[in-house]
């Protein structure tokens, strides 16, 4: 709601805490292009998916679940490039998610037959079919650059067999979520230098090494044999808050357990000073006053960049594979 207030859009939120779904009924803006410019997923820290609703379908409890969705989809007045059938991620919503997986191919087949789905028209908006409860669906639309490509915004990642810890999934999702494919391709390349602060046992270092980066892992604790076996990681037993490299590096990553304000100052100093071109880091927010602490971290980073008269790009997201923290990407611009 704070984001809507900031852009002058009035609305009323309808929350479902068990499902993790939030619907916002708007009062004064109904044009998709205006909403798409005003509300960007990249600026929403605690949202994994974003769609702008235009219709509702009932009668999905019978044998024919496709026809009600087809009728509602036609009211949008535009064809779609893809369909994402979505449901909540909680235990109570698992039957709905299973229904969605069964419903997806039937919807794609029938909507394509009626000209509502045109997969080759990639410039078209995508159709979201959200199943909030048995027998009904909300329909919405999104464009690829303002929504997650995965249903419910969840990349289903497999744990690599050689990874030293599950933390490698956190960095993998962060890179996929916080950067576009084009940004990732242009900014992370084999042969680059990276530093991993608080590296042990080496899940993040291992992921970077497997992307071809040469990693300096900083931690007083031991690194796992799987990480060191890559031959791309140098382990230095040192304090992550005081150690500095001899020259500049391409990537800084940090997953240290420390106060979020202290981590924010450290990351801002590395990037604003030019020691690191860009950084990805975790913030361990307190259970209470998470938003307040997050805004405090934003201000600390802004103050540090202002000292060097620099602008910055800060993106924050609560990831699916790291729901206890907030992960951030930071770069100058």
Question: Catalytic residues, which ones?
Answer: 284
CB of 127 closer than 8 Å to CB of 73: yes
Distance CA 78, CA 298 (A): 39
Please tell me the total number of residues recorded for the chain in this structure: 333
CB of 159 closer than 8 Å to CB of 197: no
Cα-flanking dihedrals φ and ψ of residue 153, to 5°?
A: 70, 25
Both tokens assigned to 120: 């080759």
Query: What are 80's strand-pairing partners?
Result: 117
Q: Which residue has the tokens 């242009």?
A: 186
Distance CA 204, CA 196 (A): 7
CB of 110 closer than 8 Å to CB of 66: yes
Q: Which residue has the tokens 């900014």?
A: 187
CB of 272 closer than 8 Å to CB of 307: yes
Distance CA 125, CA 118 (A): 10
110 CB-near residues (< 8 Å, 6+ apart): 66, 70
Q: Which of 175, 178, 201, 177 is nearest to 189 (CA)?
A: 175
CB of 109 closer than 8 Å to CB of 102: no
Both tokens assigned to 31: 């044009």
Cα dihedral 54, 58, 64, 70, rounded to 10, equals -10
98 CB-near residues (< 8 Å, 6+ apart): none
Distance CA 42, CA 55 (A): 25
């Amino acid at each position: 709601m704070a984001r809507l207030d900031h852009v002058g859009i009035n609305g009323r939120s309808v929350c479902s805490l068990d499902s993790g779904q939030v619907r916002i009924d708007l009062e004064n803006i109904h044009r998709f292009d205006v909403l798409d410019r005003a509300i960007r997923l990249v600026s929403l820290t605690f949202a994994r998916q974003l769609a702008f609703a235009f219709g509702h379908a009932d009668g999905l409890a019978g044998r024919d679940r496709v026809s009600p969705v087809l009728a509602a989809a036609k009211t949008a007045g535009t064809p779609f490039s893809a369909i994402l059938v979505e449901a909540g991620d909680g235990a109570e919503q698992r039957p709905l998610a299973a229904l969605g997986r069964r419903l997806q191919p039937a919807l794609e087949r029938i909507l394509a037959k009626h000209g509502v789905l045109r997969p080759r028209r990639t410039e078209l908006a995508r159709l979201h079919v959200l199943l909030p409860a048995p027998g009904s669906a909300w329909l919405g639309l999104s464009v690829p650059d303002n929504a997650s490509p995965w249903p419910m915004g969840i990349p289903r990642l497999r744990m690599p067999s050689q990874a030293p810890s599950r933390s490698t999934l956190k960095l993998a999702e962060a890179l996929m979520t916080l950067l576009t494919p084009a940004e990732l391709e242009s900014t992370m390349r084999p042969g680059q230098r990276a530093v991993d602060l608080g590296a042990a046992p080496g899940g993040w270092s291992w992921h970077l090494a497997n992307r071809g980066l040469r990693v300096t892992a900083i931690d007083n604790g031991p690194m796992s044999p799987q990480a060191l076996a890559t031959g791309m990681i140098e382990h230095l037993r040192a304090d992550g808050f005081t150690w500095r490299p001899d020259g500049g590096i391409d990537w800084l990553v940090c997953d240290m357990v420390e106060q979020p304000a202290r981590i924010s100052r450290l990351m801002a100093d590395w990037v604003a000073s030019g020691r690191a071109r860009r950084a990805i880091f975790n913030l361990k927010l307190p259970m209470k006053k998470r938003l307040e602490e997050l805004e405090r971290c934003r201000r600390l980073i802004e103050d540090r960049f202002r000292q060097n008269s620099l602008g910055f790009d800060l993106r924050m997201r609560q990831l699916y594979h790291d729901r206890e923290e907030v992960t951030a990407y930071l770069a100058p611009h």
